């Protein structure tokens, strides 16, 4: 049913170290993403006996709903999956802005994941307490060897991060020009985008220690940040997605036609200069 990664993820007219799959429609991108997630999961389970998946906000929870349908749902070894979050808003558990709650509605409640393998950020705590509690919980997962330790750092080495590109060029809750972008010692940090919105986020050292990181760019509001991130012409702190560079892992982008709308077609003259830059 699903194809090899190489068939779904192709080198394009983007810089050669980046790999991107372009899809025309929401459902097509979701299917391509589901194929990719399934293949990474199968590889991890075969190699280590388990698969650790880290979710984020945006449309990731909705897209994962694809895995709850045939043929995917019967192909997955759900008992081997362990789910974590790259970010979470400091809101009650059932709040519409809770990324856990969104994932539960669209994905988790529709598949036979083991409840003990679902690891959300604890609700009902202050941002600082929630961050400290989540880091402790992740450290416990390392002790039980559910999650590996990075070969080059002491950070956890999750099998796959699924991140959304935000309209501000951010991923997870790593917003432009925020101090959290310089964090090197903490695995989990609390951030404030503004006075009304606090969140908890995994930090760049943890993301960049992963075996696989996937970033999804979807919609016209991501066209400019996607273009800027791919070309790398903006200050890196103003586009945190540029700072996602796994040290010993793979970075794969999925983009729909709207997000890629500022790029010329591959057969246009600019394509060659973009590849060569």
DSSP 72-106: HHHHS-GGGEEEEESEEESS-TT-TT-HHHHHHHH
Domain with residue 162: its CATH number is 3.40.50.1360
- Write out the residue range of the structural domain in which residue 186 sits: 16-255
- d(Cα 134, Cα 132) in Å, to the nearest integer? 5
Residue 11 within a domain: no
CB 190 within 8 A of CB 199: yes
pLDDT confidence of residue 22: 57
Instruction: Please tell me the pTM assigned to this model.
Output: 0.88
Residue 103 within a domain: yes
- Length in residues, the chain: 277
CB 161 within 8 A of CB 207: yes
Residue 6 within a domain: no
Q: Where are the alpha helices (DSSP H) in the chain?
A: 5-8, 26-48, 60-64, 72-75, 99-106, 127-143, 204-207, 223-231, 269-276
Residue 260 within a domain: no
Q: What is the pLDDT tens value at each position of the chain, 277 positions in all?
A: 443 333 333 333 344 344 555 555 788 999 999 999 999 999 999 999 999 999 999 999 999 999 999 999 999 999 999 999 999 999 999 999 999 999 999 999 999 999 999 999 999 999 999 999 999 999 999 999 999 999 889 999 999 999 999 999 999 999 999 999 999 999 999 998 776 679 999 999 999 999 999 999 999 999 999 999 988 777 888 999 999 999 999 999 999 989 989 987 544 432 222 223 3
- d(Cα 174, Cα 178) in Å, to the nearest integer? 7
pLDDT confidence of residue 193: 75
pLDDT confidence of residue 219: 93
Residue 4 within a domain: no
Please count the structural domains in the chain. 1
- DSSP-based three-state secondary structure for 153: coil
- 111 phi-psi bin (left φ>0, alpha ψ -120 to 50, beta other): beta
CB 39 within 8 A of CB 4: yes
Residue 271 within a domain: no
Question: How far is the CA of 200 from the CAs of 25, 103, 111, 143, 186, in angstroms?
Answer: 31, 16, 26, 22, 12
pLDDT confidence of residue 16: 39
Residue 238 within a domain: yes
CB 275 within 8 A of CB 16: yes
Residue 216 within a domain: yes
């Amino acid at each position: 049913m699903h194809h090899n990664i190489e068939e779904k993820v192709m080198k394009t007219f983007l810089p050669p170290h980046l790999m991107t799959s372009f899809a025309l429609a929401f459902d097509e991108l979701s299917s391509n993403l589901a194929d990719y997630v399934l293949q990474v999961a199968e590889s991890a389970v075969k190699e280590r006996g388990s698969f650790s998946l880290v979710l984020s906000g945006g449309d990731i929870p909705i897209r994962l709903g694809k895995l709850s349908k045939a043929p995917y749902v019967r192909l997955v070894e759900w008992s081997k999956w362990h789910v974590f979050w790259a970010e979470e808003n400091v809101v009650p558990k059932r709040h519409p802005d809770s990324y856990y709650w969104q994932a539960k509605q669209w994905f988790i409640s529709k598949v036979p994941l083991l409840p003990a393998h679902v690891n959300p950020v604890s609700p009902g705590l202050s941002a600082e307490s929630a961050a400290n509690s989540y880091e402790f919980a992740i450290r416990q997962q390392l002790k039980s060897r559910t999650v590996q330790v990075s070969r080059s750092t002491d950070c956890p080495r999750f099998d796959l991060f699924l991140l959304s590109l935000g309209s501000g060029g951010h991923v997870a809750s790593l917003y432009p020009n925020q101090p959290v972008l310089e964090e090197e010692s903490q695995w989990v940090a609390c951030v404030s985008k503004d006075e009304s919105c606090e969140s908890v986020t995994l930090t760049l050292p943890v993301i960049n220690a992963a075996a696989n990181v996937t970033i999804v760019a979807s919609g016209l509001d991501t066209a400019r940040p996607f273009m800027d991130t791919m070309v790398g012409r903006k200050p890196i702190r103003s586009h945190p997605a540029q700072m996602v560079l796994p040290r010993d892992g793979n970075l794969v982008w999925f983009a729909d036609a709207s997000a890629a709308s500022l790029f010329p077609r591959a057969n246009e003259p600019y394509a060659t200069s973009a590849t060569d830059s």
